[in-house]
Chain A
Amino acid sequence: NAGVMQNPRHLVRRRGQEARLRCSPMKGHSHVYWYRQLPEEGLKFMVYLQKENIIDESGMPKERFSAEFPKEGPSILRIQQVVRGDSAAYFCASSPVPGGSLDTQYFGPGTRLTVL
C-alpha cells in the first residue's frame, strides 16, 4: 500500500509566479489535510478537504492560496503570485476518517517551496 505521495519534492519559483503542489492520499483515504512548516517552526494547519468539499480552511491565508480535492485525481494546493514569505515546506496528510480511534494522519514527504 503506497503511502501519501506529494510532488514535486522541490519547487523553485520567482516572485509573482504560481506554485501548484500535488498530493495523492493513501489508498482508501478520503480526507486530506495541508500543513505548512516555516523554517525552524512546527507545522501549522492550513486546510482540510474531503472529495469535492472544503471542510475547514481556517488556516489558509485569505488571499492567493486555494485548495481543491476533485472527485478524480490528487489534491492541489495552489499559491498565486508567490512571495518570499511563502518559502516553506508544505506537507499533505491523509486519514481514513476524522475523529475517534482512526483519526491518525499519515504524512507525505512534503514539497519544499523556495521563492527567489
Chain B
Amino acid sequence: GNSVTQMEGPVTLSEEAFLTINCTYTATGYPSLFWYVQYPGEGLQLLLKATKADDKGSNKGFEATYRKETTSFHLEKGSVQVSDSAVYFCALSGASNTGKLIFGQGTTLQVKP
C-alpha cells in the first residue's frame, strides 16, 4: 500500500543553517505530494505541494521537488529561523480519488538562536 517515510528527528540547527528533511514514498499511480507544518498546540498548515513529477513546490523560503525516479520529496530551506521550529509532516494523497492523505511520522525541527 501507499506509505511515506520521513527522517527521524528531532533535528536541531542553529539559526541561518541549511535545512534538509528527507521524505520518501511508495505509491501506485501518480499521487500529489505535500508538506504540512504544525506549530506547538496548533493544527496543520499547508506549507507547499507538488502535483506531478519534477514540480517544485515553494513557500516562505522552503522548497521541495517531486522526484519520481527516487520517489522522494525532500524539504529544504537555505537559512532557517527560530520561528521555523515546528513539526513537519510529509504527506501524499492517494491516487484513488478519495483524496485521503497518508502522512509520514513527522520530523521535529528545533532552531536555536
Interface residues of A (CB under 8 A from B): 6, 31, 33, 35, 41-45, 48, 55-56, 59, 91, 93, 95, 97-101, 103-110
Contact = CB atoms under 8 A, between A and B. Distances in A.
Contact of A43 (B46, B89, B99): B89
B98 A43 contact: no
Contacts of A33: 99-101
A97 B51 CA distance: 14
A105 B89 contact: no
Given A104-B49, A107-B45, A42 B106 contact: yes
Interface of B: 32, 34, 36, 42-46, 49, 51, 89, 93, 97-106
A40 B44 CA distance: 15
Contact of B101 (A41, A43, A99, A109): A43
A45 B100 contact: yes
B87 to A, nearest CB: 9
Contact of B103 (A44, A98, A106): A44
Contacts of B45: 107
A109 B42 contact: yes
Nearest to B105: A42
Given A101-B51, A103-B32, A42 B98 contact: no
